[in-house]
Amino acid sequence: MVWLRSFLTFLVFFLPAFAQYNEPYRPQVHFSPREHWTNDPNGLVFYDGEYHLFFQFNPLGDQWGHMSWGHAISSDLLHWKELPVAIPENNGVMIFTGSVVVDRTNSSGFCKPGSDCLVAIYTGHQERLAGGGKRQAQYLAYSNDRGRTWTQYEKNPVIDLQMADFRDPSVFWDDKRNQWLMTVSLPTLHMVRFYSSHNLKTWNQISEFGPMGDIDGDWECPNLQRVPKEHGKGSIWALKVGLNPGAPQGGSGEQYFLGRFDGKQFSASTEVGAHGWTNYGKDDYCAINFNNLPTSSKPVLLGWMSNWEYAASLPTSPWRGQMSIPRRLSYLRDGAGLALKQEPVIEPLRAGEPSQLTPEPVEAPFELSMTFEAPQPSKFGVRMYSDHEHWTEIGFDREKKQFYIDRTKSSIPVAREFPARTVAPLVEGRPFDLRLVVDRSSLEAFAQEGTITMTNLQYPPSARLRLEFFGAKPRSASQWKLNSIWKQKSCRLGPTTEPYTQEK
């Protein structure tokens, strides 16, 4: 009878966990919470051997609301272990997007004597003030136990402009000037404001940037970072700004400006390619970089894989929302100008050696890599069929000078705004290479040496996809089956997970 009790224990406690990450459309190589709503990634930081992913999270349901910070950790940016809610909504203040930094010198006074600690800088959002209206201000919280528990600063907020729209602080330590730097958005003014501090509590305004580029919607989720040159020495500053709505592909999207930052003022370059979009698809928003990476590492960017046009209507349960694949950033300068380059962090999930493409259906998740000869016919690429009526087309259109993904026939019904053909400017002179990461409900494309990135959700009737080239066959093509991140012990929920109770 002992063995029977053990077997029943296994069925009760372990099989539901496996089944939980195997629901229809559950991403297998992208992070998604076990249940409930998620949107922006928050507080990305590497600390004590762990990558921390905090994220906008509703602990009480699968629609936006009661925004708090969810929390997950990883040792490789791919296999995530979800932890309890880190910073919950409290006393009518929702926990909006922000940063986490490592306070190595205890400049804040929050750390234990002789130790460093984690400090979160985030927007506190009050939905209903006593006198009416809304308020957004910048708040602090700190952790002395590797991010497991958090204490909110008793003198919050630390920056309060008495504004309804003032959000999404991105903070990092400036070694050269020995100060903390904050990039924060004034959404309706289409401006980014920069602040400096020596203790994370007292902030001084030093400059502003904008309006510039696209201003058809609110500016959100700014992110300033230094990006290394892909080949050779040197670096450039990249300022990324979210736009919602009004992005060229519809709904929410993110533009970038490449240029100079002198510790006070950001100046955008006038070179060709200095202004572009971090993602030309519909479904990558509020991407931010990881703080405190080793100095030899390229910056790593991670975004929310969805779009505010239809995020609340996605056909998933019991969760709604997921993250993009992490991408390593660099930049290149060639005859066509400047370009931001992104490389997906995916190789550790490859199941063995690459194989040649076959006409037989391939089950997601998988990765494809292909290179087409140039010149080619005016239009060429690959289609992915889930059945005779549903397919996605990924192609190069030299006549229109576009790289595109057409998902108008890819999915079961989702929302009126969902069917789309997303496009990016194609640059003659750069190679016609294409790398695809295909999951059960998404497609991420990296073309022309990673200078074009395009992320789109798709909900095909089947996860088994048949590949068919059109226009021309690639000179070389390989595919890899990708292992699921949920079948690893490291990403199951830990024993410390507790039910969430809303604070009154």
Which residues does the annotation mark as catalytic? 40
Q: What token pair was written down for 161? A: 């402009």
Q: Which residues of 420-448 are buried (b: 16+ CB within 10 A; e: fewer)?
A: bebbbbbbeebebbbbbbbbbbbbbbbbb
**What is the distance between the alpha carbons of residues 300 and 225, in angstroms, rounded to a whole number?**
10
Per-residue b or e along 243-265, where b marks 16 or more CB atoms closer than 10 Å to that residue's CB = bbeebebbbbbbbbbbbebeeee
Q: Tell me the backbone φ, ψ of residue 489, rounded to 5 degrees.
A: -60, -30
Measured distance CA(300)–CA(344) in Å, rounded:
9
Rounded distance, CA 146 to CA 342, Å? 29
158 close to 201: Cβ distance less than 8 angstroms: yes
Question: Please, which residues have CB within 8 angstroms of residue 8's CB and are 6 or more apart in sequence?
Answer: none
CA geometry: angle 124, 127, 129, nearest 5 deg = 100
SS (H, E, C) 281-292: CCCCEEEEECEC
Burial class, 202, CB count within 10 angstroms (exposed 0-12 / middle 13-18 / buried 19+): exposed
Closest CA to 220 of 327, 132, 302, 97: 97
Strand order, beta sheet including 80-87: 80-87, 68-74, 50-58, 36-47, 319-320
DSSP 252-304: -EEEEEEEEE-SS-EEE--STTSEEES--SSS-EEEEEPBT--TTSPPEEEEE
How far apart (Å, rounded) are the C-alpha atoms in residues 31 and 171? 24
Q: Measured between alpha carbons, how far is 214 from 349 in angstroms, rounded to an integer?
A: 37
DSSP 8-state assignment for residue 153: -
Read off the tokens for 248. Answer: 């060229």
Q: Which residues contact 239 (CB under 8 A, 6 or more apart)?
A: 183, 192, 209, 222, 223, 224, 256, 257, 259, 261, 266, 268
- Rounded to the nearest angstrom, the gap between the alpha carbon of residue 439 and the centroid of all alpha carbons in its chain is 16
Find residue 19's DSSP bridge partners.
Answer: none
